[in-house]
Amino acid sequence: MHIPDGFIAPQVYGPAYGAAGVLWAVGLRRLRRRLDPAAVPRLAVATAAAFALMMVSLPLPGGTTVHVSGVGMVAVLFGVWQAFLALSLVYLLQAFMLGTGGVTALPVNALAMGLGGSLAAVGALRLLGRGRVGLFLAGWFGTVVPAVIVAFVLGLQPLVARAADGTPLFFPFGWAVTLPAVVIPHLAVGVADGVLAVLAWRILAPQEEP
């Protein structure tokens, strides 16, 4: 689901960097005030797990790939802001160290997956509760909603950046291609992310005092 460099026009990634920068600053301020030191080891484990899961990509017809994201898992365990910051760090490391995603696409990836996915997951959890169904759908929505956002952003590129002859300068395909190509596979991948969220909650959620 990561968007690589060269697919996003400056008209999109420029404002995205501005929006993400503000949200990163707000998130860091909230993190300094509210992070429980006892939660740091669990956050590190969940973040490392998400990093590893995103490295295991399955090829799809047409040259694209798909992978479990762990977005819902991190979000249900730690909330929107901590998940957004942790996943943004994952995307940053992957872009600079491994060439997965891209530097220009970093804010779009962070906003679509880290923030959009976390908001969707936590929203589902608050609506349905922390039972198996709520956790599963939190993990599922944490994958599917970012896929929709990524497909929308990619399909937008031919409209915002064209040469004088009308040729797209960056990503060439519109929504008729991007929405089914990106979203449909992630409807299935979301099942794995839903199961992962349920299991992670059982293993890593803070235990209530008897």
Here the CATH number for the domain that contains residue 61 is 1.10.1760.20
Percent of the chain residues topping a pLDDT of 90: 64
How far apart (Å, rounded) are the C-alpha atoms in residues 82 and 105?
21
For residues 146 and 116, is the Cβ–Cβ distance under 8 A?
yes
2 falls within a domain: no
Q: Looking at the 3D structure of the chain, how many domains does it have?
A: 1
78 falls within a domain: yes
36 falls within a domain: yes
- How does DSSP classify residue 113? I
The string of pLDDT tens digits covering residues 79-98 is 999 999 999 999 999 888 87
Print the domain residue range for 124.
10-204
Burial class (CB in 10 A: 0-12, 13-18, 19+), 191: middle
152 falls within a domain: yes
Place of tokens 């490392």: 48
3-state secondary structure (DSSP) of residue 137: helix
pTM score, whole prediction: 0.91
How far apart (Å, rounded) are the C-alpha atoms in residues 117 and 137?
12
Number of neighbours of residue 129 by Cβ within 10 angstroms:
11
Q: What is the pLDDT of residue 61?
A: 64
5 falls within a domain: no
For the chain, give the longest Cα–Cα distance. Answer: 70
Mean pLDDT of 116-138: 95
How far apart (Å, rounded) are the C-alpha atoms in residues 16 and 1?
17
210 falls within a domain: no
4 falls within a domain: no
3 falls within a domain: no
